[in-house]
């Protein structure tokens, strides 16, 4: 009897425990169902609420129409919000003027918020992540029509602390038929304090195509000007590290630049420096150190850059240049500069541009020239044009044989032929002339070379590859022809012909030619030239 009772009690207690656990399981299941229903309800409630807040905030901020292809909300991790195909259009009157593309388009965006944020206005969001953003600023002519219209009435319902953008583009349109829109590739941007009225702090990496390299910039942007985004203010400091100049056909080197900028998108003032320790042109492939300090005005709406001025140092030569780099639709850029070299070293410029090694001469050069580089796919040396004048002082020819010939020519021209021997003391000389360079060939006109005892006036052409050296002209000497030979017999034989060469107050005027290649010019009489003159 007792055993039977005990078994019944145990069975009853076990049944009760199973009943308790069953009710617990059922309660949990019901709780899950309730939570799921609530979550589903909240998600459906949150989705239109948040979508409405996003659209109204953006419509108010940019005073324009907003469209969105997809919008999703998840409550599994708080409020996880994402959207696709977001488009913010320019104001209606700007669209009517022809601006059809969205002002801002986003491929995808996402952010997290607290559930409590649904009940707070404005809603606070920490970080918004954006990929595939394109900002398309309409041409200025279209934007100007939006200045006197009524603004969109609405409220800012979402406040964002930070926006992180990857794979973005800034496109600045132009209505000029000879200009291409400017497309800036923005690799990574972080914008802080994204408010409606205050400037936004940013940290950005821009991908520069030519020359290839990344530009890192930090500064402020805005506030955004709805009526004319190109007038939005931008400031900052930048670093352009290890830019590969080899991406520009015809030049080479690794450039580093640092500087500061300020202004508006359509007019940015930039001050900076560049260092290129191994700058070279393909005409010579000789590496030279190049340093510049510049002040420039950049028109972001056209891509045109105005240099005002650039202070540069090539090797040991200092010079300045100012001018413009102008964008040409479908072709590239035209570069027009005024270059002034007050007191440089001619060997620096010859080392950079001429293949001949060693360079032909050394000396001090003063030069003013207009530099023009046409657009096109050719090498820079083939597109480069120069036109100007120069003065060379203290000329010394690097080739000892050439310098000896110059020294001996000077002594003979002074009437001291017996001293005209190899190894004679170097004579001071100078040169002035006008030049024009095109297609890798340097044409010299009215070249006047002055040395003790005489002058040499030449004209001709010199190719930068060193394979062409062809000049002709006249040598005028103080001494007569018979006084320029050391042998008495030769002197006596030449006396009868002295009158034929004595012209225009000179003891002798002799037609000459200078030819040769690779730093070894050859001097000789140009009898054909004399015959033509006679």
Q: How far apart are CA 132 and CA 517, in angstroms?
A: 57
Q: How far apart are CA 345 and CA 374, in angstroms?
A: 27
Q: How far apart are CA 451 and CA 446, in angstroms?
A: 16
Q: Who contacts 72 (Cβ-Cβ below 8 Å, separation ≥6)?
A: 47, 81, 82, 83
Contact 64, 87 (CB under 8 A): no
CA 177 to chain centre: 23
CA dihedral 40, 44, 45, 50 (to 10 degrees): 130
Supply the Cα-derived Rg of the chain in whole angstroms: 39
For residue 302 the two structure tokens come to 């056209």
* Closest listed residue to residue 227, CA positions, set 85, 90, 379: 90
Q: How far apart are CA 47 and CA 41, in angstroms?
A: 10
* Closest listed residue to residue 364, CA positions, set 390, 339, 394, 341: 394
Nearest 5°: CA angle at 299, between 293 and 300?
110
User: Across the strands, what pairs with 261?
Assistant: 236, 270
Residue 198 has a pLDDT of 77
Contact 226, 154 (CB under 8 A): no
* Closest listed residue to residue 370, CA positions, set 352, 357, 389: 389
Q: How far apart are CA 354 and CA 359, in angstroms?
A: 8
Residue 36 has a pLDDT of 46
- Residue 358, preceding bond cis, omega within 30 degrees? yes
Residue whose structure tokens are 């589903």? 40
Quickly count: other Cβ atoms within 10 Å of residue 88's Cβ.
Answer: 21
Nearest 5°: phi and psi at 158?
-135, 130
For residue 199 the two structure tokens come to 């400037």
Contact 517, 468 (CB under 8 A): yes
Q: Is the dihedral of CA 350, 354, 355, 356 positive or negative?
A: negative
**What SS3 state is found at 103?**
coil
User: Across the strands, what pairs with 333?
Assistant: 327
Residue 37 has a pLDDT of 47
pLDDT tens over the chain, length 534 residues:
555 555 555 555 555 555 555 555 555 555 554 544 445 545 556 677 778 878 888 888 777 888 899 888 876 666 788 899 999 888 777 777 777 788 889 999 988 877 666 656 777 788 889 999 988 877 766 655 544 445 555 566 677 888 899 888 888 777 666 667 777 788 888 988 776 677 888 898 887 777 788 889 999 887 777 667 777 888 999 999 888 888 788 889 999 999 999 988 778 899 999 999 999 988 788 899 999 999 998 876 677 889 888 999 999 999 999 999 887 777 778 889 999 999 999 999 989 888 777 888 899 999 999 999 888 888 887 888 889 999 999 999 888 888 998 899 899 899 998 898 888 888 989 999 998 988 878 888 888 999 999 998 988 887 777 677 788 888 899 999 888 888 888 888 888 888 888 888 888 888 888 777 655 667 666 656 544 444
- Residue 309, preceding bond cis, omega within 30 degrees? yes
Residue ranges per structural domain of the chain: 32-231, 399-533
End-to-end C-alpha distance for the chain, whole angstroms: 158
Q: How far apart are CA 53 and CA 512, in angstroms?
A: 87
Contact 177, 209 (CB under 8 A): no
Q: Is 63 exposed, middle or buried (0-12, 13-18, 19+ CB in 10 A)?
A: buried
**What SS3 state is found at 410?**
helix
User: Across the strands, what pairs with 350?
Assistant: none
Q: How far apart are CA 298 and CA 31, in angstroms?
A: 64
Q: How far apart are CA 331 and CA 339, in angstroms?
A: 24
Residue 423 has a pLDDT of 86
Spell out the alpha helix ranges (H) of 298-375. 346-353
User: With left for phi above 0 and alpha for psi between -120 and 50, is residue 66 left, alpha or beta?
Assistant: beta
* Closest listed residue to residue 264, CA positions, set 294, 300, 238, 306: 300
Residue 7 has a pLDDT of 52
């Amino acid at each position: 009897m007792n055993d039977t009772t005990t078994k019944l009690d145990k069975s009853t207690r076990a049944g009760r425990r199973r009943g308790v656990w069953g009710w617990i399981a059922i309660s949990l299941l019901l709780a899950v169902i309730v939570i799921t229903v609530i979550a589903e309800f909240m998600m459906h409630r949150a989705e239109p609420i948040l979508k409405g807040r996003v659209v109204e905030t953006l419509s108010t901020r940019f005073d324009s129409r907003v469209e969105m292809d997809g919008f999703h909300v998840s409550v599994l991790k708080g409020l996880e919000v994402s959207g696709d195909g977001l488009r913010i259009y320019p104001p209606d009157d700007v669209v009517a003027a022809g601006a059809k593309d969205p002002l801002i388009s986003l491929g995808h965006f996402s952010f997290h918020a607290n559930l409590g944020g649904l009940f707070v206005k404005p809603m606070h969001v920490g970080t918004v992540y954006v990929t595939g953003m394109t900002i398309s600023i309409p041409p200025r002519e279209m934007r100007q029509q939006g200045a006197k219209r009524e603004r969109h009435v609405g409220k800012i319902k979402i406040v964002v602390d930070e926006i992180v953008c990857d794979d973005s583009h800034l496109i600045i349109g132009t209505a000029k038929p000879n200009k291409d829109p400017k497309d800036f590739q923005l690799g990574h941007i972080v914008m802080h304090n994204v408010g409606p009225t205050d400037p936004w702090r940013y940290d950005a990496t821009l991908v520069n195509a030519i020359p290839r390299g990344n530009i890192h910039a930090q500064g402020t942007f805005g506030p955004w000007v709805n009526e004319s985004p190109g007038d939005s203010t931008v400031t900052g400091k930048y670093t352009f590290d290890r830019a590969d100049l080899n991406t520009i056909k015809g030049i080479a080197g690794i450039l580093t630049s640092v500087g500061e900028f300020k202004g508006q998108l359509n007019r940015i003032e930039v001050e900076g420096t560049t260092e290129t320790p191994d700058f070279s042109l393909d005409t010579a492939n000789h590496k030279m150190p190049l340093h510049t300090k510049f002040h420039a005005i950049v028109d972001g709406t056209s891509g045109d850059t105005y240099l005002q001025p650039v202070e540069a140092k090539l090797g040991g030569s200092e010079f300045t240049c100012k001018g413009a780099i102008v964008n040409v639709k479908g072709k590239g850029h035209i570069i027009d500069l005024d270059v002034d070299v007050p007191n440089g070293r001619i060997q620096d410029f010859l080392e950079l541009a001429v293949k001949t090694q060693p360079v032909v001469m050394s000396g001090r050069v003063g030069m003013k020239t207009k530099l023009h580089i046409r657009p096109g796919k050719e090498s820079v040396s083939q597109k480069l044009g120069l036109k100007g004048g120069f003065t060379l002082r203290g000329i010394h020819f690097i080739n000892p044989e050439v310098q000896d010939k110059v020294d001996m020519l000077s002594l003979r021209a002074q009437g001291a032929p017996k001293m005209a021997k190899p190894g004679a003391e170097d004579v001071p000389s100078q040169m002035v002339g006008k030049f024009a360079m095109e297609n890798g060939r340097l044409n010299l006109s009215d070249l006047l070379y002055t040395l003790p005892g005489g002058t040499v006036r030449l004209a001709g052409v010199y190719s930068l590859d060193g394979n062409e050296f062809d000049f002709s002209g006249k040598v005028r000497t103080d001494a007569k022809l018979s006084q320029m030979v050391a042998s008495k017999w030769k002197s006596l034989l030449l006396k009868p012909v002295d009158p034929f060469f004595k012209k225009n107050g000179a003891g002798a005027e002799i037609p000459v030619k200078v030819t040769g290649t690779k730093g070894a010019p050859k001097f000789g009489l140009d009898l054909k030239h004399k015959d033509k003159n006679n």
